[in-house]
């Protein structure tokens, strides 16, 4: 790509995937809580959407609650701890999205004990670390561990971690943020033995502002209302729910995920190989291999020696490429708790950038990005 080109190449899919309106409904009149015919029609559309989502996810429709997205789903679970007598400790992996990590800090200020679950240099929670954390915090009642990290793509072995959690008495509620996993890696909510999970539509081609909370058993939410069986107050977003069902059917069925993941792996293997040839480029973690089963093939974190991440982002932006530093939700802050938890020093943290791809990313985009990186490194 040359600098005069106005063509844009998008490498920030982990922040939001491009939205293509495909909702199979138009003109909803009723409120699903009304008992007249229009209300019943609206209710039917909503429940059909729930059933379609449940079929894709392999769970019962009554375990799914529509929310505004991943952040709200995470919040509903975390803040339910305030309603619990005895306020058991809330554990969270130190690489969680800000919607978990920052709210654990709020919970702590509100008197709920919290505790971090550390990660290895590769940003993953090991069974051993989890076991030790549970031994240390005998009062733990919740543990939030994400399936795929939004900054590095690190994948957690959820079923192995769940087995460790299940040995704990009294029981610990296992919550899993699936936002970067759904549609990107094979996900098995019942097989992973999760108690709750969060899903967001805008990472898989649906609109922002709609998501799902999976709850194996209902919990007592902080905010109350009649909708969504008392779990999520507010008149339901029916158009959003149908769009989410469309997006899940299009992107998250297991056959689609395995096909798209294989293609994503091919592109990422090539990109990682090329990045390794750039002497100033250091992958995060440094030992990430080209087709590394520890990481999602949709996201990578890297740094370019001597170039602050923000400078790299702006330079590439002016060349037509969208990448990011950290999660979009924390891009206003300079802190990078995920990289810090992985043991990186301040210099490395300042230089970290995230590159993420999606299902319309092409080899041509990857080649152009490599050329773009080499070009900007020439003057940075």
Under a CB-based contact definition with an 8 Å cutoff, are residues 91 and 119 in contact? Answer: no
- Interacting stretch for ligand PLP, rule CB under 6 A, among 84-92, 104-112, 321-329, 331-339? 321-329
d(CA 250, CA 248): 5
Report the site for ligand PLP in 233-292 (rule: CB under 6 A). none
Provide the minimum distance between the beta carbon of 274 and ligand PLP in the complex, in angstroms, as a whole number: 26
Nearer to ligand PLP, 72 or 319 (CB): 72
For the chain, what's the residue count?
380
Chosen residue from 63, 129, 133, 150 binding ligand PLP by CB under 6 A = 150
Neighbours of 190 (CB within 10 A): 13
Tokens, residue 207:
């609109």
Q: Partners of 90 in the beta sheet?
A: 114, 142
3-state secondary structure of 314: helix
Under a CB-based contact definition with an 8 Å cutoff, are residues 87 and 113 in contact? Answer: yes
Nearer to ligand PLP, 178 or 271 (CB): 178
d(CA 13, CA 10): 7
* DSSP state at residue 230: G
Provide the sign of the torsion angle of the four alpha carbons 161, 153, 148, 91, taken in this order.
Answer: positive
Tokens, residue 315:
């330079």
Report the site for ligand PLP in 64-123 (rule: CB under 6 A). 69-71, 97, 99
Chosen residue from 205, 211, 320, 372 binding ligand PLP by CB under 6 A = 211
Residue 180 makes contact with ligand PLP by CB under 6 A: yes
Residue 146 makes contact with ligand PLP by CB under 6 A: yes
Under a CB-based contact definition with an 8 Å cutoff, are residues 131 and 164 in contact? Answer: yes
Q: How many helices (H) and strands (E) does the chain have?
A: 11, 12
The burial of 332, by beta-carbon neighbours within 10 Å (0-12 exposed, 13-18 middle, 19 or more buried), is given as: exposed
Provide the minimum distance between the beta carbon of 261 and ligand PLP in the complex, in angstroms, as a whole number: 18
- Residue of 53, 176, 291, 329 with catalytic role: 329
> Is 104 among the residues known to form the active site?
no
Chosen residue from 325, 327, 357, 361 binding ligand PLP by CB under 6 A = 327
- Interacting stretch for ligand PLP, rule CB under 6 A, among 157-165, 177-185, 277-285, 359-367? 177-185
Report the site for ligand PLP in 2-21 (rule: CB under 6 A). none
Beta strand 114-117 pairing with 89-93: parallel
Chosen residue from 200, 243, 324, 325 binding ligand PLP by CB under 6 A = 200
Say how many residues touch ligand PLP, by CB under 6 A. Answer: 16
Nearer to ligand PLP, 68 or 80 (CB): 68
Active site residues: 329
Which residue ranges make up the site for ligand PLP (CB under 6 A)? 69-71, 97, 99, 146, 150, 177, 179-180, 200, 202, 211, 327-329
């Amino acid at each position: 790509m040359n600098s005069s080109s106005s063509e844009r190449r998008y490498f920030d899919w982990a922040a939001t995937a491009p939205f293509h309106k495909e909702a199979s409904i138009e003109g909803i009149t009723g409120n699903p809580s009304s008992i007249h015919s229009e209300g019943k029609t609206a209710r039917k559309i909503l429940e059909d959407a729930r059933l379609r989502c449940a079929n894709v996810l392999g769970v019962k429709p009554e375990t799914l609650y529509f929310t505004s997205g991943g952040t709200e789903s995470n919040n509903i679970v975390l803040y339910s701890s305030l309603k619990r007598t005895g306020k058991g400790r809330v554990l969270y992996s130190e690489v969680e999205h800000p919607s978990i990590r920052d709210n654990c800090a709020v919970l702590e200020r509100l008197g709920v004990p919290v505790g971090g679950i550390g990660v290895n240099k590769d940003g993953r929670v090991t069974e051993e670390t989890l076991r030790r954390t549970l031994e240390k915090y005998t009062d733990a009642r919740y543990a939030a561990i994400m399936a795929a990290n939004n900054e590095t793509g690190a994948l957690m072995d959820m079923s192995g971690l769940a087995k460790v959690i299940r040995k704990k008495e009294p029981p610990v509620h296992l919550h899993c943020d699936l936002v970067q996993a759904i549609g990107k890696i094979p996900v098995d909510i019942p097989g992973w033995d999760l108690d709750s999970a969060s899903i967001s539509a805008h990472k898989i081609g649906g609109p922002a502002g709609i998501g799902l909370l999976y709850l194996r058993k209902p919990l007592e939410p902080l905010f109350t209302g009649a909708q969504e069986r008392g779990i999520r107050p507010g008149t339901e977003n029916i158009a959003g729910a149908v769009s989410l069902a469309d997006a899940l059917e299009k992107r998250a069925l297991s056959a689609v995920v395995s096909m798209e993941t294989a293609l994503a792996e091919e592109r990422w293997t090539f990109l990682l190989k090329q990045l390794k040839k750039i002497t100033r480029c250091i992958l995060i973690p440094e030992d990430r291999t080209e087709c590394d089963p520890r990481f999602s093939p949709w996201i990578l974190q890297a740094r370019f020696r001597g170039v602050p991440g923000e400078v790299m982002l702006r330079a590439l932006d002016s060349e037509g490429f969208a990448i990011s530093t950290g999660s979009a939700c924390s891009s206003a802050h300079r802190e990078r708790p995920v990289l810090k938890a992985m043991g990186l020093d301040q210099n490395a943290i300042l230089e970290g950038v995230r590159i993420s791809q999606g299902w319309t990313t092409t080899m041509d985009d990857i080649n152009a990005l490599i050329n773009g990186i080499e070009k900007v490194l020439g003057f940075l």
